Amino acid sequence: MSVKNPQTREWQDLSRDHHLAPFSDYKQLKEKGPRIITKAKGVHLWDSEGNKILDGMAGLWCVAVGYGREELAEAAASQMRELPYYNLFFQTAHPPALELARAITEVAPAGMSHVFFTGSGSEGNDTNLRMVRHYWALKGKPQKQVIIGRVNGYHGSTVAGAALGGMSGMHEQGGTLPGIVHIAQPYWFGEGGDMTPDAFGVWAAEQLEKKILEVGEDNVAAFIAEPIQGAGGVIIPPETYWPKIKEILAKYEILFIADEVICGFGRTGQWFGTDYYGLKPDLMTIAKGLTSGYIPMGGVIVRDEVAAVLSEGGDFNHGFTYSGHPVAAAVALENLRILRDEKIIERVQAETAPYLQKRLRELNDHPLVGEVRGLGMLGAIELVKDKTTRTRYEGKGVGMICRQFCFDNGLIMRAVGDTMIIAPPLVITCEEIDELVEKARKCLDLTLEALK
């Protein structure tokens, strides 16, 4: 990449000489150097070359209230002055964590009134794995150990996160654990074949029952799933999927872990994805939108029946130095206040999400687009060679080509294979949605042109 600003080159040299990046193609990164993001405001970022970019991904799905919120900086600074750190281990606590636990359970589904704090979503899912196994042991059923996840699910990048998730590339690099099995994902566009979406949704849900029976109900601790798969490609399940899963979960004595790290805190236009789908999780993983990404924090919201069993159980030998970190908790509290007082989720539901979904679907007429789907502030655009047969451009890396055009034209869209995905800040306005969709169309045109 040629650069105008000499500092850009310096930073790129630092990257090459000193930094090992997360989730990056190292060889490519060394050749091209990273784009350096230097500041942000609202829904826009600026890079070190002075380019202004619309952030269609809210960072990594997290910057719900947008960039540059003074209140969040102020909350962090004043908490740092008052009590910058203390822990929640060995019978101590501090006000920000306790007040945040209450604030979270006020917006959580009824009957979920306890929170275990972690530093990230991955740590939340590590916590889930240990908590559900501990729970069953306390219930006198220690053989209930197996957790069922889904192919192409994403639950983070610690060993437990990677193993619970269904990303083969992560499994191959030390990311597996015994006692975790996977079932098919409800990805109709990619895997539905000749079935209708509804029939495929039922089929995909039935795989859960099949797996429970195969492993044996007495050996299954829990089923873990995202209400909508995010990193897997914004996969909105067919309408039949969750009702059928609900029916199956009601039949068997297993826990349901909803990974709400992306869907939680308003992304669907409801507080949680499980609210949107009417599900009844026993545990919910949270992170990302909890602090709008201004500072790391995650956790698990726990159903009362589970919390009651744990509370009778003596030591739970699990926790993180930064569980419920006071500065993170203060920021999260202020972030929840902003979401609530500014009625951001209500506006998403009533106004901006319907507008985004309507405008995105206009892209369906584009020759490169096989499907546009979305829900709330989530969207996906499938890039194909043939619309009717859903045939891809094999081996061309169309998604990455499109992603590069987006970056070069002032828009961040992420590519998952040949699926372009978006998850803008929840505060995006209708005018900014227009900007997003117009830039997306331009980049689709440029991509199609490049393929000729």
Site for ligand PLP in 297-316 (CB under 6 A): 298
From 87-95, 120-128, 215-223, 235-243, give the range in contact with ligand PLP by CB under 6 A. Answer: 120-128
Residue 186 or 370 having the CB closest to ligand PLP: 186
CA 423, 195, 281, 153 torsion-angle sign: negative
For position 323 contacting ligand PLP by CB under 6 A, the verdict is no
SS (H, E, C) 131-169: HHHHHHHHCCCCCCCEEEEECCCCCCCCHHHHHHCCCHH
Residue 8 or 419 having the CB closest to ligand PLP: 419
For position 126 contacting ligand PLP by CB under 6 A, the verdict is no
Q: At what angle do helices 95-107 and 326-341 cross, to 10 degrees?
A: 30
Site for ligand PLP in 247-266 (CB under 6 A): 259, 261-262
**Considering only residues 54, 101, 146, 287, which one is a binding residue for ligand PLP as defined by CB under 6 A?**
287
Q: Rounded CA gap, 107 and 112, in Å?
A: 10
SS (H, E, C) 366-384: CCCEEEEEEECCEEEEEEC
Site for ligand PLP in 141-160 (CB under 6 A): 154-156
What is the nearest approach in angstroms of ligand PLP to the Cβ of residue 302?
17
**Considering only residues 8, 122, 152, 274, which one is a binding residue for ligand PLP as defined by CB under 6 A?**
122
- Residue 368 half-sphere exposure toward CB, CA atoms < 13 A: 23
CB count in 10 Å sphere of residue 158: 18
Q: Rounded CA gap, 134 and 138, in Å?
A: 6
Strand-pairing partners, residue 53, are: 45
For position 127 contacting ligand PLP by CB under 6 A, the verdict is no
For position 416 contacting ligand PLP by CB under 6 A, the verdict is no
Is 234:415 a contact under the CB 8 Å cutoff? no
Give residue number: closest CB to ligand PLP.
121
What is the nearest approach in angstroms of ligand PLP to the Cβ of residue 259?
4
- Name the nearest CA neighbour of 222 among 259, 185, 167, 262: 259
Contact string (CB under 6 A) for ligand PLP, positions 215-234, x = contact: -----------x---xx---
Residue 112 or 378 having the CB closest to ligand PLP: 378
How many residues contact ligand PLP, by CB under 6 A? 14
Is 63:426 a contact under the CB 8 Å cutoff? no
Applying CB under 6 A, which residues contact ligand PLP? 120-122, 154-156, 226, 230-231, 259, 261-262, 287, 298
